[in-house]
Structure 1
């Protein structure tokens, strides 16, 4: 009953109109013709969408696996139900890629990504269903925290914390993340305003495109007919391939040129893109802002992106998955989840060859392990470790003959 009251949708003025976040925003802040900033509106800004796509796709494309540590050995945990759900398909509607991409998009847009863990009566994990962040919240009922959400059928449901995957953006209270879009509403609002003005500007609404003059005097009726003629002529010009505007002999049109200062909003949009890229900690060149990019620093920025942008999010995901997917008994048995960052750090053919060479000759990788990394089948006889003759344990080193030894005489 309490959850039904929480999610009851009723208009502030008309009970027959459902109350949603959108019409509440319009009621409080107008009809939206201004640069109103909401998570949904923020996605319409090209720079914001680009940053969210870069981060969401980067997390989604990482290989994820369930592993098990037993003593000093690490083995695949493919016997656990979570392996298929995380590696292939968490539910009937999404692949692992699309589920992680959607969850990450929710985190970056709304500050929180929610997915419900569906288990059997024996506690076995059956599926992972994503929930909409705008329809999910954390509430305290009877001294216990629970997640209140809506099912696909619109029924209010209560989910205990142990059955909820909750990926959070940076927050203040440790329980709920804050939307990066709303946290930086002023900067994103400036970008939305510049984008809207740019459309109006090039559509002819930003400033007059020209001046239409007549060679004689016009009466009131003639003036109204002239305005109607001009509207139809411009509309025909925009809808047809013919770009030549025909005017009667008694009319003259002079086009207004754009002053350089009037077009400075383009620079404002570039500044907005750079600032928004900084808000999401995404290198500017990854959202096609190449003004200050060079071939030398792009490679280094790509490495910094993995280390300082993707790695924190990977840690966020891994720790939340490990504490919710597995029971305490399973964690004690050695099960854990690991994202593989090797795909994002994969170097050129020359760099990989040098890396593999040192790994083989230093004796910490076999040649078949290298072939596996390169998606090649193993070959008989290549599972034995190689070691450099000049690199042996100290205990195995034999005393070398000195200059006074009889052997040197």
Structure 2
């Protein structure tokens, strides 16, 4: 836990002032706790972590998927939910501010969540209502808590000017909060060891193949005396290897009575390919993301790959969508609001599957869940003048009231399929 600066108030009541950087670089984090690792592993920052293809794929996929989901403002009425029009719908669905559309704004927001671990946005208000949403750079923001109030301090990195915002004006979605309720855990820092290993294997693989696939070698045999003579011998062997590579000849000479021995592990014997594949699984665990969405189909089948799509929506995308919805509903409308709300439409994830989408809309219309015009609106198609009525299959009747197939043959008047009158009343009619 980060240290608190305690001050005894004149009234004798203790208050706490805590200032915590929202985004702490990994190096500063290690130095703060006096942990200067001597292990020769790559340094992990957000930028270096994104050079790992699995991390890049996870952040890009999750941020773009969440930014793609339709997001609307609704009002609760006696006839059910109704979309809110006007400036609020423009801010939520179309363009949160003058410089960004909804996709770009939310993609940036979620990129901060899935890298540093926190997404922030400031709510601009006017007497008329919500005017805009502006992204806040987590690296330029700190949190200060005085008593029970939380204040976000944003410092412009160019001018150095600072502005304080109350918590009620800041949309804040952390990846995971620490016990103090201010600090957070970020996925890149918490998965730093797995990312370090992936970076190390990337570096080793690139260096290995850049050297022509030749591993480190040791020269055995009578060695020359003296440091300078040893350097010349090593230079001669190095030049011989380089000449062999340039000439594409598999052989090169070495002095008589000497031999070259490989130093270190062969990448194949060290299971480098298996280890790199396992790092994809490790990084997918850090994001709770099914491996198939990181392009890892090593354990994929037709059945479980299809199920991973359901798992993605139910156990990951739906949860993060709820996190943003809850924060926006609280900060935009306040605690006492009961009539207005913000909500994602998770059906937007099905827009790419035309057959499944059409089947779902057909079932909704045939079972009186959707009107034809409501289904057409989901497909961005114009309304039809006779499409506002709920429809249902006419063959569905109560048990025991189905028509007698022999009634017509016997000369009796057949009852309509949806006629629920008793037989005597029907005959009288």
Q: TM-score, normalised by structure 1?
A: 0.77
Superimposed CA distance per residue, residues 292-320 of structure 1 (whole angstroms, 9 cap, x where no aligned partner): 11222212211111111101101101000
Task: Tell whether the 8 Å contact from 2:350 to 2:357 is kept in structure 1 after alignment.
Answer: no
Which of 231, 244, 247 is the equivalent residue of 2:248? 244
Stretches of structure 1 lacking an aligned partner (at least 5 in a row): 9-19
Alpha carbons of 1:308 and 1:77: their partners in 2 closer, same or farther (altered >3 Å)? same
SS of structure 1 residue aligned to 2:389: coil
Q: Given that residues 244 and 251 in structure 2 are in contact (C-alpha distance below 8 angstroms), is that contact kept between their aligned partners in structure 1?
A: no
Give 5+ residue unaligned stretches, structure 2: 6-18, 400-417
Structure 2 match to 1:401: 423
Shift in alpha-carbon separation, 1:377–1:406, aligned structure 2, 3 A: closer
The answer to whether 1:296 aligns with 2:271 is no
Of 129, 152, 155, the residue aligned with 1:150 is 155
- In the TM superposition, 1:304-323 aligns within 5 A as 304-323=311-330
Moved more, 299-308 or 87-96: 87-96
* Preserved contact between residue 363 and residue 385 of structure 1 (Cα < 8 Å): yes
The one of 353, 356, 362 equivalent to 1:357 is: 362
Q: Which residue of 2 aligns with 1:101?
A: 107
Q: CA deviation at 1:24?
A: 3.6
Is 1:141 aligned to residue 163 of structure 2?
Answer: no
Retained in 1: the 8 A contact 2:372–2:388?
yes
Superposed CA RMSD in Å reads: 4.1
Alignment map for 1:1-400 (pairs within 5 Å): 21=25, 24=28, 29=36, 34-79=41-86, 81-120=87-126, 122=127, 124-141=129-146, 144-151=149-156, 153-173=159-179, 174-204=181-211, 208=215, 244=248, 259=266, 261-327=268-334, 331-332=337-338, 334-346=339-351, 348-391=353-396, 398-400=420-422
DSSP-derived class of the 1:101 partner: helix
The structure-2 alpha-carbon separation of the partners of 1:162 and 1:248, relative to structure 1 and needing over 3 Å to count, comes to: closer
Could you say what secondary structure the match of 1:289 adopts? Answer: coil
C-alpha distance in 2 between matches for 1:90 and 1:243: 61
d(CA) in 2 for partners of 1:243 and 1:255? Answer: 22
Larger radius of gyration: 2
Q: How far apart in 2 are the matches of 1:291 and 1:95?
A: 38
Alignment partners' CA distance in 1, 2:38 and 2:95: 41
Checking the alignment, whether the CA contact within 8 Å between 2:26 and 2:45 is kept in structure 1 is no
1:167·1:320 contact (CA, 8 Å) conserved in 2? Answer: yes
Query: Paired residues, what number?
Result: 383
